[in-house]
Structure 1
Amino acid sequence: MIYKLIKILSDGQFHSGEDVGKQLGVTRAAVWKAVQKLPALGLQYDSVTGKGYRIPAGVDLLDKEAIEAHLSDEAKPLFSGLEVFDVLGSTNDLVADRVKSSDTSGGHTGFFCLAEQQTAGRGRRGKEWVSPYAKNIYLSFAWQFERGIAAIEGLSLAVGLGVANALDQCQVPGVELKWPNDLLVSGNKLGGILIEMTGDLEGACQVVIGVGVNVSMTEAQGQSIDQAWQSISSLNAVAASDRNKLVGSVMSELLLTLSRFESEGFAAYRDQWQEKDYFLNKPVTLMIAENPIQGIARGIAENGALRLEVDGQIKEFSGGEISLRARA
């Protein structure tokens, strides 16, 4: 009932307890109890005698039809479906389950899943992905590749570039990329990519791609994040006020990116990616497990590997338990 209540109050106007009760088919007392649960979801409310309840400024809820209306004409033929949920454990897990249960050869290619909140969202290396209700973008989708794991080298980089390009189109300024899977603004994390694969290492493989972008998360909601972060709302409040447009733009770019990536690989995106490379020609520390390697970041290879200048020589690193950070 709580999510139906939020939808009623999402317009920011006052609604009487009696009217809300009629719409929900419950008593005024039940409405009052449901309203008390809103702060636990990060939603503050006003309660005024004679007027009822409201959520000040409303809630920008995800809407399937609105999102699909924002898909570009070029992307629509590649799109195979979208489901939007109030709450999920993990959008990646739901898409992975759909892929496993698919009886089609395409493995749900082009199918998207969104949630207003995740209770078990995760990022790279199993880290928790903080996922407050109706504040950010938690998006996952499926794609099938026919030429095995070698065909997806550099995929996380291409996906990150697609998301960055979509945000550029929505007038979100200053988005840069960090190898291998982060979106940054002024060095602060704006979003991230998670790639998970199943299937044949040499033949057909299904990839589940997760995308998380901070849209209007508050400082209190993000206090458990262990690195500097930023939300779109601090960069362009107008863009942050319409998540449906943001999601539609991101989905369009991802569909077009994956379609081209499948035929041309990451080499087609390398130059564009390096134009947004936050660490290009900067001193960095590369952590492999617990072993630090210091050098100068010299961009990326055509297969998406990091090029690091160490003691005057260029070395390439890719995949695995690797993280990149600014040299202290």
Structure 2
Amino acid sequence: MMAILDSAMIMPRTCAVADQVLLLDTVGSTNTYAADLVREGVLFGMHGANGADAGKSAWSGHEIVAIAANEQTAGRGRLDHTWTSVPGESFIVSLVVSVPVSIMRDLSVSGWLQMIAGCEVRDAIVGAVRDCGGGFDENIGDIALKWPNDIFVDGRKLGGVLAEMVPITGCGDRVAIVIGVGLNLAIAQERLPIDMATSLQLIAHNLPDAAVMRDAIAARWVQGLRSRLADFEKDPHREAVRAREAMIPICWTLGKSCEAHFVDGTTLRGKAIVLNDDASLTIEDQEGVLRRVSTADVGVLSK
């Protein structure tokens, strides 16, 4: 049976910077749980602008709610891939934010929101390791992002990001975004889910236990994402340019042979050559034809 734990005791850093923190012992999926709370009006439900409840809610539209779990039994990755966990081994956190509907309708900028979230997770990992007195092993390369949503280190997957849009009850001008992140924190080499995976404990040293690391990473992620979203809302086109500039040097996919798998079952093999202004990826296929990819699972075939 799912129980809500004492987040203030277990995740004090995150509680200090997020507007609300829910910590669950076990859940099917933090993203599904968060999305259901939005749909039911539990989160962001009273906009305070119309109706009998007008004025009762202090919701400003810029809150960040963090939902974390010790165990996830039916986690979902991008394109409905599964992502499960064992207690004490993983970072399982979903942040619930909101953005103007106008931004989500603007396809020239909306694709950057998930990548901004990924960049902020990457920075949060690096900062949290330092905050906790740890360090990365000398033979480990930089943490990179595989387009569009995976966190990689030396070609091995450390985690992934899944962003989903959810309508807000009674609110027509803003929409919720549920951003779920799963990271391998303390999984031994022999227990990694796939051969091409890694765990934070395998690439860094002098780390505290997984619960402390989860709190440190989540707190930094909330702070970084809050700042970036505020900037994005003020000037989305400027921030899209900024996001592309930041993403290009840390994009693991660029310049590599890859294979894109689409929802309809088709595949495209070629070389990833350009990260476009709208966050799509241009792949040059084996016949030299340039193909723009906006939604696909893109796997790197070689370095």
Which amino acid is the alignment partner of residue 128 of structure 1? T
Greater relative contact order (Cα 8 A, min sep 6): structure 1 or 2?
2
Matches within 5 A, 1:1-328: 64-65=8-9, 67-69=11-13, 76=17, 79-100=18-39, 101-102=41-42, 103-105=45-47, 109-146=63-100, 147=102, 149-151=104-106, 152-171=110-129, 173=136, 174-199=142-167, 203-219=173-189, 221-222=191-192, 225-226=193-194, 228-239=196-207, 241=209, 242-243=212-213, 244-265=215-236, 266-288=240-262, 289-310=264-285, 311-312=287-288, 314-319=290-295, 322-327=296-301
- Which residue is equivalent to 2:55? none
Specify whether residues 85 and 283 from structure 1 end up closer, same or farther in structure 2 by C-alpha distance, changes over 3 A only.
Answer: same
Please report how far the alpha carbon of residue 217 of structure 1 lies from its aligned counterpart in structure 2 after TM superposition: 1.6
Distance 2:28 2:124 in 1: 26
Distance 2:84 2:208 in 1: 18
Which amino acid is the alignment partner of residue 270 of structure 2? G
Deviation string 1:95-148 (CA, Å, 9 cap, x unpaired) is 112212233225784111111111221111222212110211100111122215
Over the matched positions of the two proteins, sequence identity in percent amounts to 24
Please report how far the alpha carbon of residue 69 of structure 1 lies from its aligned counterpart in structure 2 after TM superposition: 3.1
Distance 2:161 2:33 in 1: 16
Q: Judge which range, 107-116 or 204-213, deviates more.
A: 107-116
Specify whether residues 126 and 287 from structure 1 end up closer, same or farther in structure 2 by C-alpha distance, changes over 3 A only.
Answer: closer
Residues 294, 327 of structure 1: 8 Å contact kept: no
Distance 1:327 1:94 in 2: 34
What number of residue pairs does the alignment pair up? 262
Residues 7, 22 of structure 2: 8 Å contact kept: no
Distance 2:79 2:14 in 1: 33
Specify whether residues 116 and 109 from structure 1 end up closer, same or farther in structure 2 by C-alpha distance, changes over 3 A only.
Answer: same
Specify whether residues 177 and 237 from structure 1 end up closer, same or farther in structure 2 by C-alpha distance, changes over 3 A only.
Answer: same
Q: What's the secondary structure of 1:192's corresponding residue? A: strand
Q: What's the secondary structure of 2:82's corresponding residue? A: coil
Please report how far the alpha carbon of residue 240 of structure 1 lies from its aligned counterpart in structure 2 after TM superposition: 5.3
Specify whether residues 271 and 239 from structure 1 end up closer, same or farther in structure 2 by C-alpha distance, changes over 3 A only.
Answer: farther
Distance 1:189 1:178 in 2: 9
Q: Judge which range, 63-72 or 179-188, deviates more.
A: 63-72
Rg larger for = 1
User: How does the TM-score come out when normalised to structure 1?
Assistant: 0.70
Q: After TM superposition, which residue ranges in structure 1, 4 or more long, deviate above 6 angstroms?
A: none
Q: Judge which range, 91-100 or 309-318, deviates more.
A: 309-318
Which amino acid is the alignment partner of residue 209 of structure 1? I
Specify whether residues 70 and 86 from structure 1 end up closer, same or farther in structure 2 by C-alpha distance, changes over 3 A only.
Answer: closer
Which amino acid is the alignment partner of residue 120 of structure 2? G
Specify whether residues 98 and 234 from structure 1 end up closer, same or farther in structure 2 by C-alpha distance, changes over 3 A only.
Answer: same
Please report how far the alpha carbon of residue 199 of structure 1 lies from its aligned counterpart in structure 2 after TM superposition: 2.3
User: How does the TM-score come out when normalised to structure 2?
Assistant: 0.76
